[in-house]
Amino acid sequence: MATSTQRHRALGLTDAEYGLIVDLLGRDPGDTELAMLSLMWSEHCAYKHSKKLLRRLPTEGPAVLMGPGENAGVVDVGGGLGVAFKVESHNHPSAVEPFQGAATGVGGILRDVFAVGARPIAVLDSLRFGEISESERSRYLLEHAVGGIGHYGNSIGVPTVGGEIYFESSYEQNCLVNAMCLGLAPHERLIRAAAAGPGNVLVLLGALTGRDGIGGASVLASAELGEGDEAKRPSVQIGDPFAEKKLLECCLELLDSELLVSLQDLGAAGLTSSSAEMASKGGVGLDIDCSAVPLREAGLEPFEIMVSESQERMLCVVAPERVEEVIAVCERWETRATPIGAVNDSGRLRVLSDGDVVADLPVGVLVDDCPLYDLAPAPPQTRLYAPPPAALTGEESPGEILVALLGSANLASRRPVFEQYDPVVQSRTVRRPDDADAAVLALPTGEALAVAIDGNGRRVACDPRRGAAEVVYECAANLACVGATPLGLTNCLNFGNPEKPHVAWQLVEAVDGITEACRALDVPVVGGNVSLYNEAPSGPIFPTPVIGMVGRLADPARAGRLAFTQEGDAIALVGEFAPSAVGSELAKLRGEEIAGPLPLIDERAVQEAHETVRQLVGSGSVRSAHDIAEGGIAVALAECCVAGGLGATVALPEGLDPFAEAPGRAFIVSGSPEALAGLQVIGRVGGDELEVAGQLEVAVSELHEARERGLAKFL
C-alpha cells in the first residue's frame, strides 16, 4: 500500500499543497478526506491558475440577475422572465469516447441551467477537431461527437439551434467540445445553490450512484484491482437523456411548488463538490450519510461514493416538513429521491458511513482555502505553431480561390451536421441554423431572444489580445444581424498548460482582450468555464476562447435573415472595414505563418456599425444582413448568394482585398435601393452569377456545389 507521500502525489496534489492541508487540518487527512480534497483542489474544480485572472472580466450590468459563481448566469429579458445560460467544456472525455463525452457534456450543461430553476430552451455547440481531410481519427471524433450531441439533445426535447465547427491540426490530439445551454424562468422560480437553514434535509435526486469517473482516486481503494476488474471502474460515463428528462420535469415542478430551499447539480467531483459548494455559499455545515446513498452496485467505499461522477443526479435542500411532498412529486416523475443528510451550523462537512465518521473537514478547507496561483506570463520566444501545409499553388485566380475557400472544411455547409439535430421542439424557433447569423427564439412576451456561439483559435494564436476581442465582436455582430441587442455573455477558455509562461501569456492577453471588448460593447460576463492543459507533446492547442452571447429583439417577425432574396435589391457594406490577410482562412490555405498583429480595432466604429445594422434590421429596412467573417467579403457575398439562390454584381472599394479578414466589424446588407440610399452601396442582387468587378465571376450553382460538398464528403 502506498505511503501518504506517494498517495497525495498520485492524486495530483503537490507536496506544498499537501503540506498546506496538513497545516490547515492540524493532522494528516484520512482516505476519504484526501480523495475529496484532491478533487476540490484540482485545477478543474478550483480554477487555481485562472481564478485571479478571471476577476478582471466585467460582470455587472443592469440586466444581470445572477452573475458568475452560480450554476448559470441569468439576465432579465422583460415580462418577469429571466434567461439563464452558460457554456462548458467536455474536451478530455470527448477525446476518449466522443459520443458519450459529447452527450454527457450536453447533459451536464442542461443540469447547470435547470439547477437555477430555468427550463432549458436551447443548446448550441462549439466543436474543434484536427484536419478531417487528413485524419481518420478526427473524422471519427466529429461523427461521434455530433451523434452524441444529437442523441442527448433530441431525446430530452431541447432544440439544438446553432453552433460552430472548425478543423485545425492544432486540435488533433486535443479536440474541443464546448456545449452551451439557454433556459427560461419566471423570476420567482430562480433559485440559488446556497444551502441554508440548519435542520433542513439534504435530498439526493435522480440516478443511482456507481463508480463512474473515479479514475485517479482509485489509488485509495483498499482492495487491489485485480485483472478483469477494470470493468468495475468505467472510465466513460454513459448519459441517459430519458432519466434527465424526468429529473428536469421533476425539478421544475418542485420549484413551481416552492418545495426546495436550494438546488445544485452534481457534476465534476460529484457529491463532494456539490455539497461543499452548497455549504460554502450558505455559510453552513453539512452531514452526509454515505450509507443512505442509493447505489448501482454493492461494495462502494465511502470515498468512491463521495467522488463518483454518475450522471443525472441533483442535490437539494428541503425543509423537514416538506420532504414527504418532495418524495411524492419525484415518484410521479419516476425519479428517485433519498434523504442523505442534513444542514447544520457547524461550518464543517462531515461524511458518515454506517455510523462512523469517515471525513470531517471545515468547509473552508475544501473551497476557499485552496491556494490560487499567479500566472507568470511571458511572450513566446520561439514559434509555437508550425504553419499548415499549403493547399493552394499560388497560381489560382480569385474565382478559383473563392471556390476553394467555400469548399474548405472550415467554411463549407454544416447541413450534414445540423440535420442530425432537432431545432424546432418547444415551438419557439424563429430562425433555424442557416437562416441567419444567430438563432432566434420567440418569448412568451412577444419579444424574442437571439443567441450565437463563436470562437477562434488561429487568429488568437496570431495575436491573443485582438484575436480574443474579435471573438466577442463577432458574436455581437451575429446578434446585430438578426436585430438583437446583447444582454450578456458566457465564455469558455480552452488553453494549454498555464504553468508554461507562453501559455500564461496567451491566457492573460486573451482575458484582457475579452475584457476590453466587453467594456466597449457594455456586455457583462455572467459565467463561464476554463479548460486548461490541452497540450500534446508538440505543444499547446491554439489559444481558443469561445464566447456564447445572448441578446434581445423586440419583434421576432422582423428578425434578420442572411440570404439575398430579391432581384434588383441594392447591396451595401456597413462598417469601417480595413481587413488584412493575417490569420485568415486564405492564409491557412496558402500555408502562411501563424503570426503577426491583427487589424486595429476602432471600438467606436464597431459600436456604430453594430447599432446601424441593428436599426436597419429592426425597422424592416433591409431584406438581409450578414456579418463579414472568415473568408472576407467575397465569402460573405457568396454565402448570401447561395442562401438565396441569386447572384450579385458588386464592385469593391478601391484596394479592398476580397479575402482579407477583420471579423466583427463589417456587414453586408441588401434591400431596396431607396432603403439603402444613405449607405455605402457596392452592388446589386440579380442574375445567376456572383461577379466582383475586376476579380471574379462565378456561377452561383458552382458556389453552391462547392459549399454543399466541402464537409459532406467526409461524413
Partner 1 sequence: MLGGVSPTVKFGVIRFPGSCDEVDAQLACERVGEAVILWHGDHDLQGVDAVVVPGGFSYGDYLRAGAIARFAPVMVEVTEFARAGGLVLGICNGFQVLCEAGLLPGALLPNTTLRFIFRQVSLEVATSGSPFTRACAPGDRLSIPVKHTTGRFYAPDQELARIEAQDQVLLRYAPGHNPNGSLADIAGVCNEARNVFGLMPHPEHAVDPLTGSVDGLAIFESIAAHVADSVPAGGVPG
Catalytic residues: 44, 90
Total residues contacting partner 1 by CB under 8 A comes to 32
| Contact between 556 and partner 1 per CB under 8 A | yes
Considering the complex, state which of residue 283 and residue 444 has its C-beta at the smaller distance from partner 1.
Answer: 444
| Contact between 242 and partner 1 per CB under 8 A | yes
For partner 1, the binding residues in 248-287 under the rule CB under 8 A are: none
| Contact between 420 and partner 1 per CB under 8 A | yes
CB of 242 to partner 1, least distance (A): 3
Instruction: Tell me the residue type at 301.
Output: E
State which of residues 41, 99, 114, 418 lies at the interface with partner 1 (CB under 8 A): 418
**Cell numbers of 672, please?**
431596396
State which of residues 38, 154, 275, 413 lies at the interface with partner 1 (CB under 8 A): 154
Stretch that binds partner 1, among 241-249, 366-374, 506-514, 677-685 (CB under 8 A): 241-249
- What phi and psi values does residue 225 have, to the nearest 5 degrees? -75, 120
At residue 57's C-alpha, the angle toward residues 53 and 63, to 5°, is: 150
State which of residues 15, 188, 297, 419 lies at the interface with partner 1 (CB under 8 A): 419
What is the maximum span of the chain, computed from C-alpha positions, in angstroms? 83
Q: Are 86 and 182 contacting, i.e. CB atoms less than 8 angstroms apart?
A: no
Question: How far apart (Å, rounded) are the C-alpha atoms in residues 449 and 559?
Answer: 10
Identify the H or E element spanning 121: strand 119-129
| Contact between 112 and partner 1 per CB under 8 A | no
State which of residues 3, 557, 655, 674 lies at the interface with partner 1 (CB under 8 A): 557
CB of 495 to partner 1, least distance (A): 33
Considering the complex, state which of residue 9 and residue 432 has its C-beta at the smaller distance from partner 1.
Answer: 432
| Contact between 157 and partner 1 per CB under 8 A | yes
Considering the complex, state which of residue 190 and residue 559 has its C-beta at the smaller distance from partner 1.
Answer: 559
By C-alpha distance, which of 609, 687, 602, 699 is closest to 648? 687
State which of residues 426, 565, 607, 649 lies at the interface with partner 1 (CB under 8 A): 426
Q: Are 169 and 288 contacting, i.e. CB atoms less than 8 angstroms apart?
A: no
Considering the complex, state which of residue 435 and residue 585 has its C-beta at the smaller distance from partner 1.
Answer: 435
Considering the complex, state which of residue 114 and residue 495 has its C-beta at the smaller distance from partner 1.
Answer: 114
**Cell numbers of 247, please?**
429529473
| Contact between 565 and partner 1 per CB under 8 A | no
Considering the complex, state which of residue 1 and residue 557 has its C-beta at the smaller distance from partner 1.
Answer: 557
**Cell numbers of 706, please?**
462547392
Q: Are 551 and 479 contacting, i.e. CB atoms less than 8 angstroms apart?
A: yes
Tell how strand 429-431 and strand 337-344 pair up. unpaired
Identify the H or E element spanning 276: helix 270-282
CB of 120 to partner 1, least distance (A): 12
Considering the complex, state which of residue 312 and residue 454 has its C-beta at the smaller distance from partner 1.
Answer: 312
CB of 439 to partner 1, least distance (A): 12
Tell me how far the alpha carbon of residue 194 is from its chain's centroid. Answer: 24
Instruction: Tell me the residue type at 396.
Output: E
Which residue(s) pair with 223 in the sheet? none
| Contact between 150 and partner 1 per CB under 8 A | yes
State which of residues 312, 422, 569, 691 lies at the interface with partner 1 (CB under 8 A): 422
Binding marks (x or -) toward partner 1, 14..43, rule CB under 8 A? ------------------------------
For partner 1, the binding residues in 118-147 under the rule CB under 8 A are: 147
State which of residues 425, 554, 578, 699 lies at the interface with partner 1 (CB under 8 A): 425
Considering the complex, state which of residue 421 and residue 473 has its C-beta at the smaller distance from partner 1.
Answer: 421
State which of residues 128, 246, 348, 588 lies at the interface with partner 1 (CB under 8 A): 246
Question: How far apart (Å, rounded) are the C-alpha atoms in residues 106 and 635?
Answer: 32
Residue the block writes with cell 463521495: 306
**Cell numbers of 156, please?**
430530452
| Contact between 424 and partner 1 per CB under 8 A | yes
Q: Any idea what DSSP says for residue 635?
A: H
| Contact between 237 and partner 1 per CB under 8 A | no
Question: How far apart (Å, rounded) are the C-alpha atoms in residues 621 and 420?
Answer: 34
Q: Any idea what DSSP says for residue 674?
A: T
State which of residues 31, 240, 569, 661 lies at the interface with partner 1 (CB under 8 A): 240
Residue the block writes with cell 476562447: 545
| Contact between 618 and partner 1 per CB under 8 A | no
**Cell numbers of 130, please?**
484536427
Q: Are 233 and 211 contacting, i.e. CB atoms less than 8 angstroms apart?
A: yes
| Contact between 429 and partner 1 per CB under 8 A | yes
CB of 432 to partner 1, least distance (A): 8
Considering the complex, state which of residue 418 and residue 542 has its C-beta at the smaller distance from partner 1.
Answer: 418
Binding marks (x or -) toward partner 1, 328..347, rule CB under 8 A? ----xxx-------------
State which of residues 428, 459, 561, 590 lies at the interface with partner 1 (CB under 8 A): 428
Stretch that binds partner 1, among 237-245, 282-290, 474-482, 499-507 (CB under 8 A): 237-245
Stretch that binds partner 1, among 239-247, 286-294, 321-329, 528-536 (CB under 8 A): 239-247
State which of residues 241, 302, 455, 524 lies at the interface with partner 1 (CB under 8 A): 241
State which of residues 9, 92, 233, 245 lies at the interface with partner 1 (CB under 8 A): 245
Residue the block writes with cell 447505489: 295
Q: Are 408 and 703 contacting, i.e. CB atoms less than 8 angstroms apart?
A: no
Q: Is 127 exposed, middle or buried (0-12, 13-18, 19+ CB in 10 A)?
A: buried
Within 26-97, where are the H helices?
31-40, 43-46, 51-54, 91-96
Stretch that binds partner 1, among 319-327, 421-429, 456-464, 543-551 (CB under 8 A): 421-429
Considering the complex, state which of residue 482 and residue 574 has its C-beta at the smaller distance from partner 1.
Answer: 482
Stretch that binds partner 1, among 326-334, 583-591, 602-610, 627-635 (CB under 8 A): 326-334
Residue 520 burial (CB count, 10 A):
18
CB of 424 to partner 1, least distance (A): 5
CB of 420 to partner 1, least distance (A): 5
The strand order across the sheet containing 429-431 reads 429-431, 439-442, 448-455, 544-553, 485-494, 525-531
| Contact between 186 and partner 1 per CB under 8 A | no
By C-alpha distance, which of 681, 687, 679 is closest to 703? 687
| Contact between 620 and partner 1 per CB under 8 A | no
Q: Any idea what DSSP says for residue 536?
A: E
Considering the complex, state which of residue 268 and residue 554 has its C-beta at the smaller distance from partner 1.
Answer: 554
Which residue(s) pair with 488 in the sheet? 550
Residue 331 burial (CB count, 10 A):
12
| Contact between 163 and partner 1 per CB under 8 A | no
Please give the full DSSP string across 559-616, using - where no structure is assigned. ----S--STT-EEEEES----BSTT-HHHHHTT--S-SPPPP--HHHHHHHHHHHHHH
Strands (E), 495-541: 525-531, 535-536, 539-540
Tell how strand 648-650 and strand 667-671 pair up. unpaired
CB of 243 to partner 1, least distance (A): 8
Interface ranges with partner 1 (CB under 8 A): 147, 150-151, 154-157, 240-243, 245-246, 332-334, 418-430, 442, 556-557
